[in-house]
């Protein structure tokens, strides 16, 4: 059975373009603000939204997402808020997934978490610190709940390892463009196109590129070779720097519209 995420990539492939995927942590900039941001991003033309589950020890994240996670956690964000944001996102008509470090899933209950994702209209979960070796219970749970297990691969991942990881992956393969943590970068590394090509040798799944994309021009460059363009820190930075909530929402809406043009200009 196809998830909403699978259908997004069917559509964007038919339109010969890349999908635009936006990341926003649940409970950021506030619980209500997050819902407004989700709606603004959906209206501006993103194809899918990743709801981040903020975690106390985000070792894969740079200063921007760390700050957002801290604000969200101080506001008391928990699993219920993540599911509620997911529901809001999927109700807008975009595909919605959750991105989270592993421990909150384990604490919540592995099969219960997967089922709650499905029950709230979610298509899958991105698990950046879950290795395939530790994925037994998780893969069983996502299989039962009919959602996509989305794994992250890196430029340092060997070809043999890529084949192992992508064989367990569903929805899309998340290709980290550079070695490092999340955050906007001036140049999306040349590693990214090489990595996408190597991933595509192992799987027919869509491949989306994240880490560092923040402008229409970068989105266009990445859209030339990838099936999806993931933008996170750039949106969060706008929300962090805005003088008012409305100013922040206007800014992310404007950026999302630019990026939506970018992903249509790549090919």
Partner 1 sequence: MTIQASDVLGHFGQYGGRFVPEALIGALDELEAAHNAAKTDPVFQAELAELHRTYTGRPSIITEAKRFAEHAGGARILLKREDLNHTGSHKINNVLGQALLTKKMGKKRIIAETGAGQHGVASATAAALMGLECVVYMGEEDTRRQALNVARMKLLGAEVVPVTSGSRTLKDAINEAMRDWVTNVATTHYMLGTVAGPHPFPTMVRDFHKIIGEEAREQVLALTGKLPDAVLACVGGGSNAIGIFHAFIPDAGVRLIGLEAGGDGIETGRHAATISGGSAGVLHGTRSYVLQDENGQTIESHSISAGLDYPGVGPEHAYLHDVGRAEYRAVNDDAAMAAFSLLCRTEGIIPAIETAHALAGALVIGNELGPDATLLINLSGRGDKDVQTAADYFGIPL
245: annotated active-site residue: no
**Stretch of 18-26, 154-162, 198-206, 234-242 contacting partner 1, by CB under 8 A:** 154-162
Token pair recorded at residue 159: 């070809």
| Beta bridge pairs of residue 173 | 207
**What SS3 class is residue 126?**
strand
Candidate ranges 97-105, 117-125, 138-146, 190-198; the one touching partner 1 (CB under 8 A): 97-105
Stated as kind and residue range, the H or E segment containing 255 is helix 245-265
What span, in angstroms and rounded, lies between the C-alpha atoms of 163 and 135? 16
Counting contacts by CB under 8 A, is residue 78 touching partner 1?
yes
* Number of amino acids touching partner 1 (CB under 8 A): 39
Catalytic residue flag (residue 247)? no
Answer yes or no whether residue 177 interacts with partner 1 by CB under 8 A.
Answer: no
CB of 249 to partner 1, least distance (A): 27
Q: What is the DSSP string of 111-133?
A: HHHHHHHHHTT--EEE-TT--GG
Q: Dig out the tokens for 191 from the structure.
A: 């590693």
CB 203 within 8 A of CB 166: yes
Residue selected from 33, 146, 155, 266 as contacting partner 1 according to rule CB under 8 A: 155
Catalytic machinery residues: 50, 61
For binding to partner 1 (CB under 8 A), which residues are involved? 55-60, 62, 66, 70, 73, 78-79, 102-108, 128-131, 133-134, 151-158, 161, 165, 176, 179-181
């Amino acid at each position: 059975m196809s998830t909403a995420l699978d259908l997004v990539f069917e559509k964007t492939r038919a339109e010969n373009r890349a999908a635009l995927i936006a990341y926003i942590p649940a409970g950021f900039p506030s619980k209500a603000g997050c819902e407004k941001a989700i709606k603004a991003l959906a209206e501006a033309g993103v194809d899918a939204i990743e709801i981040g589950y903020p975690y106390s020890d985000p070792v894969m994240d740079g200063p921007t997402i760390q700050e957002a996670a801290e604000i969200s956690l101080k506001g008391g964000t928990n699993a219920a808020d993540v599911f509620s944001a997911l529901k809001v996102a999927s109700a807008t008509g975009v595909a919605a997934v959750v991105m989270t470090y592993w421990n909150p899933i384990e604490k919540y209950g592995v099969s219960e978490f997967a089922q709650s994702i499905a029950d709230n209209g979610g298509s899958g979960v991105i698990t950046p610190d879950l290795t395939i070796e530790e994925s037994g219970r998780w893969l069983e749970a996502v299989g039962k709940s009919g959602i996509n297990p989305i794994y992250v691969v890196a430029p340092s991942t060997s070809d043999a390892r890529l084949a192992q990881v992508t064989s367990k992956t569903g929805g899309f393969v998340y290709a980290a463009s550079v070695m490092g943590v999340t955050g906007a970068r001036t140049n999306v590394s040349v590693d990214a196109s090489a990595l996408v090509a190597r991933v595509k040798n192992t799987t027919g799944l869509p491949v989306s590129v994240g880490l560092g994309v923040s402008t229409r021009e970068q989105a266009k460059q990445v859209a030339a070779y990838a099936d999806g363009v993931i933008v996170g820190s750039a949106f969060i930075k706008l929300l962090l720097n805005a003088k008012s909530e409305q100013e922040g929402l206007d800014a992310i809406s404007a950026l999302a519209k630019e990026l939506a043009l970018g992903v249509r200009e790549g090919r």
